[in-house]
A and B are shown apart, each in its own frame.
Chain A
């Protein structure tokens, strides 16, 4: 290879090709998940889309296919143990090896949001099942195959509620803080295998979830999910800047 002025070969090699990769996205039927699916479809990914509601998910997969992309719908609930091997099996059956997994599905728990002392124990447990244990179970299946192949990327969608102790965001904030640490420990344990584990704080977005949490928000001040999705796709591609174990902030990520 000859040197290109201004572009190091290292940078070229650090680009993760999305074209042809099997990509699994949870929470794919709306909001950020949907925007990620659309952005990755344009890049030539083979998508396994997961969400609880079949209808919007199947519509999204059909829309992507109609545009010439590859997308499959897997209606399932990531918080259910028995569903997780189904999700992984169906995804592998439909798109082949999974090179990228994005844990985007999450729940706030009951809204309006409430103080921790007013939170039912069962509601906290349910939030942890969806936001923490579900991604853990799915990663446990997907990361092993990635590590054997010597590469792969797992993205955990985080939140600033993982860092800041916002009153009333208890169940969600606890789950996201734990998920951040899950991400870091996985990165430490898989160091040297080629598997990259990222946590990404997307910042505040104009989504159904945000409206449920903060109904009084001025929507004009919020990011659009498509903008955030473009930054996350850039992180996935940029193995040199988005290194394993990192917790990245989407609003301050510059897309080259």
Chain B
């Protein structure tokens, strides 16, 4: 669970009633963003019911729409870029050679037999990430068992753990050396679930955290700004002359349960930008269209790549001082001050304008949950 939901649990109810009694004029006058923002709801919103608050960085205009209005909020000639990474079943429970339980959350794509993730101490998905204890010791070279995988600890740097899945147990419990990665993928999908949210009544199934265009399983958590992009909306954009292109960005974990470590997020993340997407960006520039990123992971990949085709690793940190070179606007979940994603949003709109929009969103009962409502930040010009 990320910031909004965490902050909310303490302060929601009182602020919601207070905000409901305020007039629109009061809200637009209010500049205490931190206070306003904690009143965001923290419920999941079904894909069809997601709303969008529009933020114009050049004016004070803020409006709330159904997400399905997105095609009408953009223009012919604009280009929408999505992250087509599918979400990994990255929450894996394991046991050390000393018999201690831990959870490994994959933080990066699986490469060959190598697994990179964050280890947590015992507990289950109902325990909030920040309350999870540290991992039991994972001595270098020791073996751990995860589902049917026997893996060797290759590196431990802070909370980041690198394992080599060298052996897989068969149905009778006999270990076999891994000769094909087929066995690794089978074992991961058999043992893993997507990273969970502790406040949910039931565990999230893998299909609830996939976008409607997900392809390669590269994402540690869902690139969730694209969750409300149904094919109805995508095809409506296409009919309206809005181009759509994809890239693949290995979205990492949203939280690793430790405030200091969380401040270092996001870690360097792999991306691939196909030729056709680079061509679409160039064509958009020619016609004076705008490049709209669906989600912060797309912003990171587009800015890291400069919009050029190829594979790379995004290391840049996006903050209020960053001047986007490729991205003109974005769709994002609703983020509040204190979250790294909020700092990224400030590269596109000022703190004052974002906080007004958050106030409007909270008055409208919009949700700051990962699987909640969204905002569109795009200049009107």
* A90 near B186: Cβ-Cβ < 8 Å: yes
B25–chain A nearest beta-carbon distance, Å: 43
* B215 near A98: Cβ-Cβ < 8 Å: yes
* B210 near A94: Cβ-Cβ < 8 Å: no
State in angstroms the CA–CA spacing of A158 and B213 once bound together: 26
Query: Chain B contacts of A97 at CB under 8 A?
Result: 215-216
Q: Which of A75, A88, A148 contacts B213 (CB 8 A)?
A: A148
Is A147 interfacial (CB-CB < 8 Å)?
A: yes
Which residues of chain A (5-48) have a CB below 8 Å from chain B?
A: none
Instruction: Determine the interface band of chain A, counting residues with CB < 8 A from chain B.
Output: 20 to 34
B218–chain A nearest beta-carbon distance, Å: 9
Which residues of chain B (232-269) have a CB below 8 Å from chain A?
A: 234-235, 238, 244-246
Most buried by A among B82, B214, B238, B245: B214
* A82 near B205: Cβ-Cβ < 8 Å: yes
Given the interface pairs A72-B180, A149-B246, the reply to whether A144 lies near B214 with Cβ below 8 Å is yes
* A89 near B182: Cβ-Cβ < 8 Å: no
State in angstroms the CA–CA spacing of A160 and B214 once bound together: 34
Most buried by B among A85, A96, A149, A193: A85
Is B329 interfacial (CB-CB < 8 Å)?
A: no
* B216 near A192: Cβ-Cβ < 8 Å: no
Query: Chain A contacts of B211 at CB under 8 A?
Result: 144
Instruction: Mark B255-290 against chain A: 1 for CB-CB distance below 8 A, else 0.
Output: 000000000000000000010100000000000000
Query: Chain B contacts of A189 at CB under 8 A?
Result: 231
Which residues of chain B (195-215) have a CB below 8 Å from chain A?
A: 205-207, 210-215
Instruction: Mark A74-103 against chain B: 1 for CB-CB distance below 8 A, else 0.
Output: 110000001001101110111011100000
* A145 near B84: Cβ-Cβ < 8 Å: yes
Chain B, Cβ-Cβ closest to A90: B185
Q: Which of B82, B86, B180 contacts A148 (CB 8 A)?
A: B82
* B180 near A92: Cβ-Cβ < 8 Å: no
State in angstroms the CA–CA spacing of A90 and B110 once bound together: 11
* B214 near A94: Cβ-Cβ < 8 Å: no
Is A141 interfacial (CB-CB < 8 Å)?
A: yes
Instruction: Mark A117-153 against chain B: 1 for CB-CB distance below 8 A, else 0.
Output: 0000000000000000000000001001101111000
Query: Chain A contacts of B185 at CB under 8 A?
Result: 74, 89-90, 93-94
Is B123 interfacial (CB-CB < 8 Å)?
A: no
Which residues of chain A (153-202) have a CB below 8 Å from chain B?
A: 189, 192-193
Given the interface pairs A93-B216, A149-B276, the reply to whether A73 lies near B189 with Cβ below 8 Å is no
* B180 near A141: Cβ-Cβ < 8 Å: no
Most buried by B among A61, A90, A97, A148: A148
Query: Chain B contacts of A74 at CB under 8 A?
Result: 182, 185-186
Query: Chain B contacts of A85 at CB under 8 A?
Result: 206-207, 210
Work out how many contacts link A and B, with CB atoms closer than 8 A: 77
Most buried by A among B213, B245, B274: B213
* B86 near A94: Cβ-Cβ < 8 Å: no
* A90 near B189: Cβ-Cβ < 8 Å: yes
* A96 near B216: Cβ-Cβ < 8 Å: yes
Is B147 interfacial (CB-CB < 8 Å)?
A: no
Q: Which of B182, B244, B276 contacts A61 (CB 8 A)?
A: B182
* B182 near A72: Cβ-Cβ < 8 Å: yes
B185–chain A nearest beta-carbon distance, Å: 4
Which residues of chain B (147-205) have a CB below 8 Å from chain A?
A: 180-182, 185-186, 189-190, 205
State in angstroms the CA–CA spacing of A2 and B214 once bound together: 40
A206–chain B nearest beta-carbon distance, Å: 30
Query: Chain B contacts of A72 at CB under 8 A?
Result: 180-182
Query: Chain A contacts of B231 at CB under 8 A?
Result: 144, 147, 189
Q: Which of B110, B213, B276 contacts A145 (CB 8 A)?
A: B213
* A92 near B86: Cβ-Cβ < 8 Å: yes
* B213 near A89: Cβ-Cβ < 8 Å: no
Instruction: Mark B71-111 against chain A: 1 for CB-CB distance below 8 A, else 0.
Output: 00000000000101010110000000000000000000010
Is B217 interfacial (CB-CB < 8 Å)?
A: yes
Query: Chain B contacts of A98 at CB under 8 A?
Result: 215
Query: Chain A contacts of B234 at CB under 8 A?
Result: 147-148
Query: Chain A contacts of B89 at CB under 8 A?
Result: 89
* B182 near A145: Cβ-Cβ < 8 Å: no
State in angstroms the CA–CA spacing of A58 and B168 once bound together: 15
A45–chain B nearest beta-carbon distance, Å: 16
* A73 near B276: Cβ-Cβ < 8 Å: no
Instruction: Mark A212-254 against chain B: 1 for CB-CB distance below 8 A, else 0.
Output: 0000000000000000000000000000000000000000000
State in angstroms the CA–CA spacing of A189 and B82 once bound together: 21
State in angstroms the CA–CA spacing of A85 and B213 once bound together: 13
Chain A, Cβ-Cβ closest to B239: A192
Query: Chain B contacts of A150 at CB under 8 A?
Result: 276
Given the interface pairs A89-B89, A94-B181, A192-B238, the reply to whether A144 lies near B186 with Cβ below 8 Å is no
Query: Chain B contacts of A93 at CB under 8 A?
Result: 110, 181, 185, 216-217
* B181 near A145: Cβ-Cβ < 8 Å: no
Given A89-B189, A92-B216, A149-B276, list of 6 further CB < 8 A pairs? Answer: A72-B181, A73-B182, A89-B206, A92-B215, A93-B181, A141-B210
**3 smallest A-B Cβ distances: which pairs?**
A145-B215, A144-B213, A86-B189
Ordered by A's residue number, 7 sampled pairs between the chains whose C-beta atoms are within 8 Å are A61-B180, A74-B186, A82-B206, A86-B206, A93-B185, A148-B82, A148-B245
